[in-house]
Amino acid sequence: MKAERPEAVPLAGGTDLMVELNFGRLRPPAIIDLTRAAELATHRQEDGHVFLGAGVTYAAIVNELPGFKPLVQASRSVGSPQIRHRGTVGGNLGTASPAGDALPVLAAYDAEVVLRSQARGERSMPWHAFLMGPKKTAIAPDELIVGARWARIRGPGSFSKIGTRNAMVIAVAGLSLVIDEDHRRVNVALGSVGPTIIRATPAEEQISSAMASSGAWQDPSTAVSEQVIDEFAELVASAARPLDDVRGTAAYRRHGCRVLARRSLAWALSERRLPTWL
């Protein structure tokens, strides 16, 4: 259908598109209802990889994927029960708002986005190649988002965000931190603090190598010094590229990243001592 009508707008949970329709800001020549494509609402794990269909709702993630804590935390923080019953990961990807809560998690997982068209079949690309800018993606007009795929990462992690309420909040700053025990890496991705999702690469390298030199990778009980944590939080904050807007100032957002970075690292380090993710 998308091949025949490339101008048709795909619709899944409607939490973005229906607002545009209701407010008369969008009058698409045609709409494709993706909720009829049952395949999109599936997820599976094979060969150490995870595939998450574009049509999987946030409620389904919370109920069905408890092993993916950062993703569950992000999903649980989306909107309200009503929104989580409809909103999908594919919607976060397609809308490509830097405030999409699932996106920092997919970035911290180093996920790739799977696209499909009738003419060229399936292709996938890293999340950072797909998310080109605010509300801008690398999708072709005849393509649909099939889902996201990533190599399963062994280790603790989290998603947290700052907003004015515990629900119904568009993040002022969001952060996902994932520890990859096998590759001895710490991945940190930021949302809502730049034109797109940002990986705090200098901070990742600093903490990963500090943990290597202190022996913390081999022995999770090894303390990570306050100074190292401060440096890490500072590097995360400086990776942000925030703007002043109605939801918060750039300075507040940067500070938020600093706080979220410290907390997420502390959670993950204490979880390493008590490996509940095993």
Partner 1 sequence: MVVRTRVNGEWREAEVWPGASLLAFLREQLGLFGSKNACEQGECGSCSVWLDGALVCSCLVLAAQANDREVRTVEGLTDAGRLHPVQEAFVEAGAVQCGFCTPGFVVAVADLLEKDASPSPATVREALSGNICRCTGYAKILDAVNLAAARLLERT
Beta carbon of residue 37, minimum distance to partner 1 (angstroms, whole number): 12
# residues near partner 1 by CB under 8 A: 26
Binding mask 34-53 for partner 1 (x = CB under 8 A): -x------------------
Q: How far apart are the first and last CA of the chain?
A: 43
Pairing of strands 157-162, 143-151: unpaired
Name every residue whose Cβ is closer than 8 Å to that of residue 245 and which is 6 or more positions away in sequence.
Answer: none
Beta carbon of residue 255, minimum distance to partner 1 (angstroms, whole number): 26
Contact between 5 and partner 1 (CB under 8 A)? Answer: no
Contact between 162 and partner 1 (CB under 8 A)? Answer: no
Q: Which is nearer to partner 1, 111 or 171 (CB)?
A: 171
Beta carbon of residue 174, minimum distance to partner 1 (angstroms, whole number): 18
Contact between 170 and partner 1 (CB under 8 A)? Answer: no
Contact between 23 and partner 1 (CB under 8 A)? Answer: yes
Interface segment toward partner 1; rule CB under 8 A; list 7-15, 110-118, 119-127, 230-238: 7-15
Q: Which is nearer to partner 1, 172 or 228 (CB)?
A: 172
Q: Using the rule CB under 8 A, which residue among 2, 15, 145, 148 binds partner 1?
A: 15
Q: Furthest-apart CA pair in the chain: how many Å? A: 60
Contact between 79 and partner 1 (CB under 8 A)? Answer: yes
Residue ranges in contact with partner 1 by CB under 8 A: 11, 13-15, 18-19, 21-23, 27-28, 31, 33, 35, 59, 79-83, 85-86, 165-168
